[in-house]
Amino acid sequence: MDSVDLEVLKSSARWLEEGHRALLVTVVKTWGSSPRPEGAMLAVRDDGLVVGSVSGGCIEDDLIDRVRQRGIEQTLPEAVKYGITAEEAHRFGLPCGGTIQLVLEPLTLHSGIADLCGAVENGRLVAREVNMATGAARLESAQATDGVHFDGARLLTIHGPRYRMLVIGAGQLSRYLCHIAVGLDYQVTVCDPREEYTEEWNIPGTKIVRTMPDDTVIEMKLDERCAVIALTHDPKLDDLALMEALKTPAFYVGALGSRRNNQARRERLKEFDLNDTELGRLHGPVGIYIGSRTPPEIAVSILAEVTAAKNGVSLPTLLQVEGAKAAREIAASGGTACSV
């Protein structure tokens, strides 16, 4: 789940423990363009303090004003819509024609928010169901799926680490990459059997394992919400792990290296009976081209490409490292490269 939304839940639980009332606001449906997706959350305290977001700001202002003027009077959840008309869309900062439906839920200590926070922080994927007629809420284990369901009678939301990332190698680049990946709400596992790299590993929010990478890939049972990034430059560690990962539904499998090394890697992987479709899924050289040179810059480049893959965005050739560098070489030699 989004780190902003986790902060909404944690703040709500803390406010309730401190004796405040709180209103939990959840985006349940959007029409047209919308600044925030379904499932995004906002919490408003009884004195107007707010955390999270459901729009570009104007809807938040309206909700805050509502609480400050009237307090949190309601005792049951209710559904409201903003931006039904073009005038309202303009007033509330929505794109023209955009409409957003929200559920406003008054929270109590019996709403299960503290238990939900505990489950999410322990790495569990949890479904929370709210009965709109009674306000009763219950938690149960969920399948690895995104989204929110609202039919007017009940609100079902999914909370927890929906995406996992396996990083092969615990070197300096991995440290920067994992710091950012944790901030992006990945459940990060770092695999490196080399003690000299793992002995001082101390990145909060990550799990370090010292098994062979290919065994780790198999053990993790990678699904379509998993990313694998090989960063060791050591074929003995990277290749077997990539071979296993490319056979899974993982949405992203990538490896660090130059264009020459990447081509040599592909030739080696062919010897493992990977077909062209499986080999075609390998991202390498890994990352998008931003002229990165330092480990932090390279980490940003890699995670930008991972994020694009996660969101179903197909990057043009000139944004990919191999395509961009090839285009630069053509330009430097006096030739021309096709634009995109």
The pLDDT assigned to 58 comes to 78
For residues 108, 109, 113, 114, the Cα torsion angle rounded to the nearest 10 degrees is: 160
Q: Which residues are paired to 44 by β-bridges?
A: 23, 50
CA pair distance 274, 312, nearest whole angstrom:
24
The pLDDT assigned to 1 comes to 54
The pLDDT assigned to 42 comes to 94
The pLDDT assigned to 338 comes to 39
* Segments making up each domain of the chain, as ranges: 3-159, 164-326
In DSSP notation, 102-124 reads EEEEEE-GGG-HHHHHHHHHTT-
What 8-state DSSP symbol labels residue 320? B
CA pair distance 236, 262, nearest whole angstrom:
15
CA pair distance 13, 246, nearest whole angstrom:
41
pLDDT tens digits in sequence order for the chain, 340 residues long: 556 788 899 999 999 999 999 999 999 998 776 667 888 899 999 999 999 988 866 788 889 998 999 889 889 999 999 875 666 656 665 555 578 899 999 999 999 999 999 988 887 889 999 999 999 999 998 876 667 899 999 999 988 876 899 999 999 999 999 999 998 888 899 999 999 999 989 999 899 999 999 999 999 999 888 999 999 989 999 999 999 999 999 999 999 988 888 889 988 998 887 888 999 899 988 998 888 889 999 999 999 999 999 988 887 766 666 666 666 666 667 654 433 3
Closest alpha carbon to 189 in 250, 236, 239, 266: 250
Q: Does domain 164-326 have CATH number 3.30.565.10?
A: no
The pLDDT assigned to 90 comes to 62
Residue with token string 């439906």 = 101
What 8-state DSSP symbol labels residue 19? T
- Given a contact cutoff of 8 angstroms between Cβ atoms, the answer to whether 150 and 187 are in contact is no
The pLDDT assigned to 183 comes to 87
Collapsed DSSP state (helix, strand, coil) of residue 318:
helix
State the pTM of this model. 0.64
